[in-house]
Amino acid sequence: MGISTAFRNSNSGLVATARWAELTAANIANANRQGYVRRTLSTESAPGGGVLVTGVTREVNSSLDRLFRSELAGVARQGVIASELDNYSFRLGDPADSLSIAGQFSNLYSGFGLLSNSPADTSLQNNVLASSLGLAKTLNDASNTLDQTLQSVTAGINNDVGLVNEHLNKIAQLNIQIGNEPQANNFKASLQDERALEIDALSVLVNINVRTSSDGKVGITTSQGTLLLDKGTAFNVSYDTSLGHLKVGNTEITPNKTGVRGFSQGQLAGWFDLKDDIIPQMKLQLDEFARVLVESFESADTSLSSGQAGFFTDQGAAYNPSQLEGLAGRLTVNAAVDPNRGGDIWRIRDGVGAAIEGPAGDSTQPLGFLAIFETAQSFDPQAGQGSTVEIADYLAGMIADQKLVQIDAQINAEELGGKAQVAQSARLGVQGVNLDSELQQLIVIEQNYAANAQVTQSIGQMLDALLAAI
């Protein structure tokens, strides 16, 4: 009451101002640290009329957090598709590239064209052989690159599953620690910062829903509702390699699968897009191209007996419909036309099955081979290029489509990245530190402290005067 209450009140002001200065200094020191959320002091009136510091508040907007994390997951999904397809896309080459699949095919087409007009010319026969070997090799390389990409995807899935579990376990641990902190102090705020960063990192991998309970702990589910974390318990994710399923315990959460309560965005969703849709489709397109080469050269070659392998083979054998998968990686030129493998170059003119060399100027078989390139062939409509097209048109469509898969992913990643950037700016606007604003507060803190100190001094002088009078 009276003087002593006044003394106590101004003292509480000094304490509160000092705490405020402490927080402002912390804000300024951490201004450029990613994931730091601006602290403010929460105060209330003390019973006697002074000021009571009740805790440290983190300036967070949870709906902006949610928006940013969902954009992040979208960017990550497109980003992983774009970057994983880099190697394969490079192999597809530019339109003018003569060593690309299209370039090699064009060379072979020209080769047969020139040969059919001068079938006796051995340099033209050798030219056809070289072009066909080049085409087979380029196709083999492309198929192998897709296989390698698939292996890289599987490794990526396993790696990211490990990371997801790491983040979930960390968040569970932080939940417990946060729950154990009764007061809203600086330490608790740091733990909450760390937990927010872990949740951001998890959102890159899987798009999730986060719910904060009244005790400050978070619960995490996949975007379609499967529980991943409940307060202090993290449910670990696993990848079943043989079935190709992603699971939490026994519940399947494979992304973008109907009938499964999984998720749709995030880096893991990108890996599964590659594994289940994109790469199998590209392989099918390559294998169809290889199949048409093998089968059309078999049927155009009048020198072959039934079941005999033609100009293009499946590692030496004739086409077998049950062996379509991976045919592009096994496509070989028949050894019978290759002098380096015990064959004879004149079989390019006379047919692979020809026992003896025929008339030098007979262009019947070369013209038969040339017709393959100039008449429409049947393709599996699943390959997406129509069911009856010329091989050149199929190839042009296939390469453009495959290139555009990566380019579309890049463009989507860029656009979503722009949106994420906007969400991030808005989020940081709320929770980030503005140096000017903090420095202005310092001015107020200085004045406040000086004012409280002045009050304390005045009261001290008053007490001195009272004591002097006794």
Q: What is the binding site for other proteins (CB under 8 A)?
A: 31-34, 94-96, 102, 105-106, 109-110, 113-114, 116-118, 120, 359-364, 367, 370-371, 374-375, 392-393, 395-397, 399-401, 403-404, 407, 410-411, 421, 424-425, 428-437, 439-440, 443
Q: Which residue lies nearer to other proteins by CB, 309 or 423?
A: 423
Minimum CB–partner distance for residue 418 and other proteins (Å): 10
129-141 in b/e form (b: 16+ CB < 10 A) is bebbbbbbebbbe
Check the CA dihedral 464-465-468-469 and report its sign.
negative
Minimum CB–partner distance for residue 182 and other proteins (Å): 30
Q: State residue 313 phi and psi, 5-degree precision.
A: -130, 170
E strands, 99-243, are 208-212, 218-222, 227-230, 233-234, 237-240
Q: Which residue lies nearer to other proteins by CB, 276 or 344?
A: 344
Distance CA 258, CA 271 (A): 17
Q: Which residue lies nearer to other proteins by CB, 114 or 318?
A: 114
Minimum CB–partner distance for residue 369 and other proteins (Å): 11
Q: Which residue lies nearer to other proteins by CB, 222 or 431?
A: 431
Q: Which residue lies nearer to other proteins by CB, 325 or 357?
A: 357
Check the CA dihedral 374-376-381-384 and report its sign.
positive
Reduce the DSSP state of residue 434 to 3 states and report it. Answer: coil
Minimum CB–partner distance for residue 138 and other proteins (Å): 15
Q: Which residue lies nearer to other proteins by CB, 110 or 251?
A: 110
169: which residues sit within 8 A by CB, 6+ positions away?
234, 236
Distance CA 416, CA 424 (A): 12
Minimum CB–partner distance for residue 289 and other proteins (Å): 13
Minimum CB–partner distance for residue 243 and other proteins (Å): 36
E strands, 145-293, are 208-212, 218-222, 227-230, 233-234, 237-240, 245-248, 251-252
| Bridge partners, residue 40, by sequence | 57
Minimum CB–partner distance for residue 331 and other proteins (Å): 20
Q: Which residue lies nearer to other proteins by CB, 339 or 432?
A: 432
